[in-house]
């Protein structure tokens, strides 16, 4: 695939990025697609490796190796190299409903399993994918694909995150009539309100929703099923129902002073920022302005908070990571093609280094106490170091340190789906607050199915899309007695 000697002749070149001190002036996306000829060179690096681990998508040692969607990566790399972008787009869309999302926010599981990356740098798979789908939109190739024949079956999808959208898109293209119920004012779930605009422009999300509407999918907004909309009535009205409400119950921090004003869950902060950006509310974009910010959590959401606070003009930002720092390169017990457990410096941390002169992360550290002023507003945070020598984190006596803090954002992960939705559909939950099904199945009971984080717990956008596609196949078989999905 690609040029047979390309991986020997060419070096990896990623999409260019606006410099940190410049890009923090706006909330705009800051990566730029390479010119066509340079992109062709990058596609030429795809080896004829025989066994393309990039599209494997299997779990190794508890982590996914390769693309969960089994994207036909060598095939469309070859087509990009051969200057056949239309065919590359066709092959890409065979396995991925929303390449414009995954090519922006996916951690590129495919690249970490790339054979070319064993002794050299992997192929720029994610950047190539982005170039293919954007070529499709820019050149009028992403036109509405309206089913010629409708099945007469109706499906309700509860939640419009990546899993819900993938299920809705797949079932609609099959010919079923699909209605998506969304409690917010816009569709997209975490794509819209959980991921900052500079990482995924909301116009990109809106563009896809408009395309789905043109293809026949109906979106109902402000429908908070289980509260202002009845699950029982939906089950009665529709032939099948898909629960895809995500894993939106945030993990809290139970320490002294938690009730101080100025402590917020990261998801609420990011959502409020996006809403303010979309509405042009400048005041809503100043929550962190002039404040010392502490972000609890070292994952992607924590990094997004760091980048957002810097754009809002924070006085300082510190990111607390409970776990020890990962090694900079693969350890001997973490061989390819396993997901590399290594330390990465993401865009938010890059920006913090550029602005404040140091990495914002403090490892093996957690919050011991929040301190408020006389008005009940957060004034400082007492942090403490953790020792993992016993196998479990233990506070290190005498390691306490008090930091000024007027805004604290909790990005400590999620505990599963919100109870009231599952309760409204009489769906049982497992020990992780996920909707319970048989292993490998999406069927819950009667005409109810589930997909995405609500089914498997907090995961990646690319895995949610796979969940939505697999669920759609099982719904289709339930409705028709067979499936060709």
In this predicted model, what pLDDT tens digit does every residue of 423-437 receive, in sequence order? Answer: 999 999 998 899 999
Segment 235-253 shows an average pLDDT of: 95
Integer Cα distance of 192 and 305 in angstroms: 15
Evaluate if residue 462 carries a pLDDT over 80.
yes
Give the pLDDT of residue 255. 95
Alpha carbon dihedral 207, 209, 213, 218, in 10-degree steps, equals -160
User: At 1, is the pLDDT very low, low, confident or very high (cuts 50, 70, 90)?
Assistant: low
Evaluate if residue 238 carries a pLDDT over 80.
yes
User: At 417, is the pLDDT very low, low, confident or very high (cuts 50, 70, 90)?
Assistant: confident
Evaluate if residue 373 carries a pLDDT over 70.
yes
| pTM of the shown model | 0.96
Domains and CATH numbers, the chain: 6-138 (1.10.1060.10), 154-248+415-480 (3.50.50.60), 263-410 (3.50.50.60)
Evaluate if residue 2 carries a pLDDT over 80.
no
In this predicted model, what pLDDT tens digit does every residue of 184-210 receive, in sequence order? Answer: 999 999 999 999 999 999 999 999 999
Give the pLDDT of residue 3. 87
Evaluate if residue 181 carries a pLDDT over 80.
yes
In this predicted model, what pLDDT tens digit does every residue of 34-68 receive, in sequence order? Answer: 999 999 999 999 998 989 999 999 999 999 999 99
User: At 418, is the pLDDT very low, low, confident or very high (cuts 50, 70, 90)?
Assistant: confident
Mean of per-residue pLDDT scores for the chain: 96
Segment 231-239 shows an average pLDDT of: 97
Segment 324-330 shows an average pLDDT of: 95
User: At 449, is the pLDDT very low, low, confident or very high (cuts 50, 70, 90)?
Assistant: very high
| Percentage of residues of the chain with pLDDT beyond 90 | 96
Segment 246-250 shows an average pLDDT of: 92
Q: Which range among 157-166, 248-257, 370-379 shows the weakest confidence by mean pLDDT?
A: 248-257
Segment 306-310 shows an average pLDDT of: 98
In this predicted model, what pLDDT tens digit does every residue of 126-170 receive, in sequence order? Answer: 999 999 999 999 999 999 999 999 999 999 999 999 999 999 999
């Amino acid at each position: 695939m690609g040029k047979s000697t390309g991986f020997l002749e060419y070096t990896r070149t990623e999409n260019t990025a606006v410099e940190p001190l410049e890009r923090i002036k706006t909330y705009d996306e800051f990566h730029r697609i390479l010119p066509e000829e340079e992109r062709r060179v990058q596609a030429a690096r795809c080896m004829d490796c025989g066994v393309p681990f990039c599209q494997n998508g299997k779990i190794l040692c508890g982590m996914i190796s390769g693309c969960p969607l089994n994207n036909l990566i060598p095939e469309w790399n070859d087509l990009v190299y051969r200057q056949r972008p239309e065919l590359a787009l066709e092959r890409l869309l065979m396995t991925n409903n929303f390449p414009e999302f995954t090519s922006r926010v996916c951690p590129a599981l495919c690249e970490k399993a790339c054979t070319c990356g064993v002794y050299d740098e992997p192929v720029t798979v994610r950047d190539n994918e982005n170039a293919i789908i954007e070529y499709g939109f820019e050149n009028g190739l992403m036109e509405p694909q309206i089913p010629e024949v409708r099945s007469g079956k109706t499906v309700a999808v509860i939640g419009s995150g990546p899993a819900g959208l993938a299920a809705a898109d797949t079932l609609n293209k099959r010919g079923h009539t699909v209605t998506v119920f969304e409690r917010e004012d816009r569709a997209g779930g975490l794509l819209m309100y959980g991921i900052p605009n500079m990482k995924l422009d909301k116009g990109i999300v809106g563009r896809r929703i408009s395309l789905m509407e043109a293809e026949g999918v109906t979106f109902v907004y402000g429908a908070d099923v289980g509260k202002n909309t009845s699950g029982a009535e939906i089950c009665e009205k529709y032939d099948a129902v898909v629960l895809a409400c995500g894993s939106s119950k945030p993990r809290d921090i139970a320490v002294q002073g938690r009730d101080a004003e100025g402590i917020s869950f990261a998801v609420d902060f990011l959502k409020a920022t996006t809403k303010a950006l979309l509405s042009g509310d400048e005041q809503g974009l100043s929550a962190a302005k002039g404040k010392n910010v502490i972000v609890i959590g070292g994952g992607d959401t924590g990094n997004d908070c760091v980048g957002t606070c810097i754009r809002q003009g924070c006085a300082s930002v510190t990111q607390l990571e409970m776990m020890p720092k990962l090694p900079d390169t693969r350890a001997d017990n973490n061989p390819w093609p396993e997901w590399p457990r290594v330390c990465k410096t993401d865009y938010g941390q890059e920006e913090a280094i550029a602005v404040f002169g140091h990495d914002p992360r403090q490892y093996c550290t957690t919050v011991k106490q929040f301190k408020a002023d006389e008005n009940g507003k957060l004034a400082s945070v007492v942090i403490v170091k953790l020792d993992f020598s016993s196998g479990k984190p233990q506070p290190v006596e005498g390691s306490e340190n008090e930091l000024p803090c007027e805004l604290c954002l909790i990005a400590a992960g999620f505990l599963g789906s919100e109870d009231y939705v599952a309760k409204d559909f009489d769906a049982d939950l497992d020990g992780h607050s996920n909707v319970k099904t048989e292993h490998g199945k999406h069927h819950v009971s009667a005409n109810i199915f589930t997909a995405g984080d609500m089914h498997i717990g907090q995961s990646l956008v690319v895995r949610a899309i796979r969940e939505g596609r697999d669920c759609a196949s099982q719904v289709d078989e339930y409705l028709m007695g067979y499936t060709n999905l």
